[in-house]
Amino acid sequence: MYNIIKNKKYWFGFSGILVAISIIVLSVWGLKLGIDFTGGSLLEVSYESNRPSISQVEESLQSLELQSLLIQPSGDDNFFLRFENVGEDRHQEILNKLKTIQVADQETALTELRFESIGPTIGQELKSKAIEAIIIVLLFIVFYIAYAFRQVSKPVASWKYGLSAIIALTHDILIVMGIFAVLGHVANVEVDTLFVTALLTILGFSIHDTIVTFDRTRENLFRTHDKSFDEIVNLSVNQTIVRSINTSVTTLFVLFAIYVFGGDNIRFFVLALMLGVIIGTYSSIFVASPLLSIWNKKS
């Protein structure tokens, strides 16, 4: 049986480095917000044959002087175009410009698949509601765990189980956001409402793993009376670690398949989930439970 609790300083040190780096990159670069939060227009088009290059699309739209223009290829035939918030007249001008592009001296047939326009006011409201949703979820988790573990008040108070879980969840969210801040700076990866959905899903997955371990600790506290609290926590982690890893690995198999074979629209959503599963499993084992030992020593 591996003594995870005894080596907690190494786990905390590793997590501390990752969280510190995440906070730094978030402070310096921040997340690259998509039009869901900043406001703007999204146009998806498909070329039936001879899809032009990105440079040809940029050249065709240059005269329109679109602000914040971002062009992303999707699949073999499609393009996603993100730009400033425009009206219907401007929308039709963009389509006309795209239809006149020639590849190998031949015009290509263009089909508009989607056009969405979000005003800056709606974008700000979505951003504030996303933050509110995450905060509310965290608060409810604390209250639920404090209630669920109310019969285990010694040697660590029940609310400290909830606080340990929240610290572990905050650790997970910060690291995932830090990675996406780097991706936004390096590869222009934007975050949208799907990213918020991924964060909330990560919270649910990670807390599920943590509660399983905490519940085993609660059972062992009632059953075992000849061991110290650290020994009981360590025993509980070792009893649940295989189950946690197996659950995470099988989940990652499914997510990886979706990442590879799913559409470009959900690729970064799935990537966020994959990162969250890995980091959440780590924090459930190496952060949340060792924190109980810290609370015990401080008591």
pLDDT tens figures, 149-174: 777 657 777 788 888 989 999 999 99
**pLDDT at site 110:** 82
pLDDT tens figures, 7-23: 889 999 999 999 999 99
May I ask the CATH class of domain 8-35+121-298? mainly alpha
Spell out the alpha helix ranges (H) of the chain. 8-28, 35-38, 54-61, 88-99, 120-148, 158-187, 193-223, 229-261, 267-283, 289-298
299: pLDDT strictly greater than 70: no
d(CA 198, CA 272): 6
**pLDDT at site 77:** 81
Domain 8-35+121-298 matches domain 40-118 at the CATH topology level: no
d(CA 123, CA 126): 5
The whole-model pTM stands at 0.82
In the chain, domain spans: 8-35+121-298, 40-118
CATH number of this structure's domain 40-118? 3.30.70.3400
pLDDT tens figures, 262-291: 877 788 999 999 999 999 999 999 999 999
pLDDT tens figures, 33-69: 887 777 788 888 888 877 888 888 888 888 888 877 8
